[in-house]
Chain A
Amino acid sequence: MERRGGQPGDRLMTTPTTTARITPELEAAAERAKARRGFLVSLPAYVYLVVFFVIPFGLVVVYSFATRDSTGLTVLRDWNLDSYQRVFASEVLVIFLRSLGLALSTTVICLGFSYPFAYYIATRPPKVRNILLVFVMIPFWSNFLVRTYAWRVLLGSDGPISQISQALGGEPMRLLFTNSAVLIGLVYGFMPFMVLPLYAALERMDWRLVEAARDLYASGWSAFRKVTLPISLPGVIAGSILVFIPSLGAYVTPALLGGARTVLMGDYIVSQFLAARNWPFGSALSVGLMAIMLAATLIYFRAGAKTA
């Protein structure tokens, strides 16, 4: 006898699957057998995720307390908190604040343009909406590296923007390798992550609620503020988290569009592993980044639970 889903018992009453008497013992045995099967079905993923995710995660934590020998190799003894002390050094703080500022700016700019954008798409007739949406999906699925590289071409000193500015009698533009270039790249790279959850929230909206508010003499603005905005808030929060987290840990964008003076958390961590070979410090930085990420995700779920 096979039963899937639901609480024990409830299905039996509505759909009797057998004429045999079902004793509590039989039912318990069936539940156990089902639990065993479920465990077996999940086993390959379980093993894989433990080996290639949980253990590596634990190793990063272990490494963050390790020391380096005279050659710079990490040795797993003489456990200490040196790496964590360095995390709070002013040099790191500057990089962190720069990353945080850029990630927050990216999130705010993305939200500012994406909300009216998603709102416009969501209020079109279904056919138009589908077409407009496909043109959001294309950049969303397109290769991130290539999309970032395109800005390197655009912003280059002999690129189109600079050429136009020179043709108009201006100076050659020095946009590339600045914080502005990184900001543009981040907004460009992560904007679809903002648009899609916003659209999902707005598309499901029942616009009759807005009409009702208008009928009750609410102004357009207060109808938006009191009806549309609260309903779409889960989309706003989801989109903001989805843009904020990858922006904070971004590596490809600053590596391609930023300069030596615009080091961000992502490339700082990478340099600890690939250049400086200070694995304990790099690990401590990674642990810090993951902690912030987890905190942001928890805020998201808390807020989601409240507004849902």
Chain B
Amino acid sequence: MPLTEQEFQELQQRAKAIRREIVDVTGWSGGAHIGGSLSMADILTLLYWKYMRLDPAQPEWEDRDRFVLSKGHGGVGHAVVLAQRGFFDRENLRKFNETDSMLGMHLDCHKVPGCETSTGSMGHGLSQAVGMALGARVLKKDWHVYCIVGDGESDEGSIWEAAMSAAHYKLDNLIVFQDRNHMMIDGLTEEVMSLEPLADKWRAFGFETREVNGHDLHQLAEAIDLALEVKGKPVMILCDTVKGKGVDFMENKPDWHYGGLSSELVANAKRSIGE
């Protein structure tokens, strides 16, 4: 179903609230993977506030939809989403990265309610998402598995091993987003290690592939609606995104892959995101 105007407004506000809190946590923690967390914020907003079947009061509910953050460096963004969605007390965000706190740079599924699996090392999450999707088939369950793959981690051969197996087993309960923000730590993906033609690659690997603007909630929603109808193959929603999206001085700057923020920069960043 296309987004209603009211839904759109609410989701847009939510995405801004997520971005503002990502900035806050980056400030509190002394440093975080902010650029890639901001680039995927709109995708996560739609998943957690519109599409995923979940119950924050029962994070282990058997029939829930699963989400795997294959680009585990986005842990700070995912943590903010889980906190705002009510999986745990937002006060935990203030202790991000602290010894023995619930939240660290890469989320630990044994500590963080709502986190399905521990990621962080690149190129691992998609395989685990494939396992969860296969698991639904074995157990005759109708849950969907959503997964966000980074573009940088797509240099890893294991991503393509996983892609091959998802198509081989016709996992139409697996919907993968690629956060195509075109950047990795050392610079532009196309300069560090070329990925293009990326959409062609996913199609060649057997994915029903759709290219969208990863910050356009209407386009994203339409793509997810279509993905839910696909039969017999996994889906790739290739999201053209901007690293650091929403914060003017961070956008499209690889240096903001990871960084810390002074209180002044926090204020500037939140002003840029807006209310």
The finding on whether chains A and B are genuine partners in a shared complex, rather than unrelated, reads no
- Name B residues whose Cβ lies closer than 8 Å to a Cβ of A: none
